[in-house]
Amino acid sequence: MSDAPAGVDINTHDWNRHVPPGRKRAPFFRYIRINLPRLTKAVILAVMALLAFCAGVVALSDHLPFVGGDIALWLVVALAGIFLVAGLVTRARIWDFGMVPALGALIAYLGGLFGTAPYVWNGASVHLAAAWNTMMLCGLAYLIIRWALAYGILVAYPDDQGFVD
C-alpha cells in the first residue's frame, strides 16, 4: 500500500517529486501554476522596456546618481535593449540574460544611495525621482518574475507546462 493520493498511478506519475523528506506536503508555491506563456513573455518584455526607459531618463538628466553613473545607466539601457530585441525576434529562452540588466539597475540604485541619487529632497524633479525609483522597482519585479519562472509558478513562451485540454 502506498501513500499516493487516490487516483494517482504511482507507476507513471512521480507524485512525491516536490515533497521534501520528512514532510507530507509540497511547499506552498508548488501548488500555484499559471500557464499563460505568451502573456508572461509580454509582461517580461514590458518590464524590461520600462526599466530601459527609466534608466535612459535618469542617464539623460543633469542629476546623475554617482560619478560615472551615466556610463552605468547607459550600459543598463544597452543590455536591456539587447534583451528586448532578442526577446522579440527569437524563440530562445533568454530569461537568464535578463538578470544582467535587472541586477545592473539594482546595483546602480544602490550606488546612488551612497552618491547623490535623484530624489526630490536632493534637488531632482518629481519626474526624475519617479523614474529613478521605477527603475529600481522594475529590476526587482524582473527578479521576482525570474524566480517564479525558475520555481515553476510561471511559464514563458516558447515553453508551456504540458497542460492538455
Check: CB of residue 136 under 8 Å from CB of residue 51. no
How does pLDDT run across 13-63, given as a tens digit for each residue?
555 566 666 767 767 777 777 788 899 999 999 999 999 999 999 999 989
d(CA 16, CA 98): 32
Residue 93 domain-assigned (yes or no): yes
Determine whether 143 is exposed, middle or buried from the number of CB atoms within 10 Å of its CB (0-12, 13-18, 19+): middle
- Number of domains comprising the chain: 1
In the predicted structure, residue 164 carries a pLDDT above the cut 50: no
Flag whether 68 is in a domain.
yes
Rounded to a whole number of angstroms, the distance between the first and last alpha carbons of the chain is 31
User: Is residue 113 over pLDDT 50?
Assistant: yes
Using an 8 Å Cβ cutoff, are 98 and 44 in contact? Answer: yes
Examine residue 79 and state whether it is found in any structural domain, yes or no.
Answer: yes
Domain that holds residue 82: 38-151
Q: What is the pLDDT of residue 163?
A: 56
Q: Is residue 164 part of a domain?
A: no
- Greater model confidence, 30 or 116: 116
pLDDT, position 35: 81
What tens digit of pLDDT does each residue of 68-103 get?
999 999 999 999 999 999 999 999 999 999 999 999
Report the distance separating Cα 82 and Cα 86, nearest Å.
Answer: 6
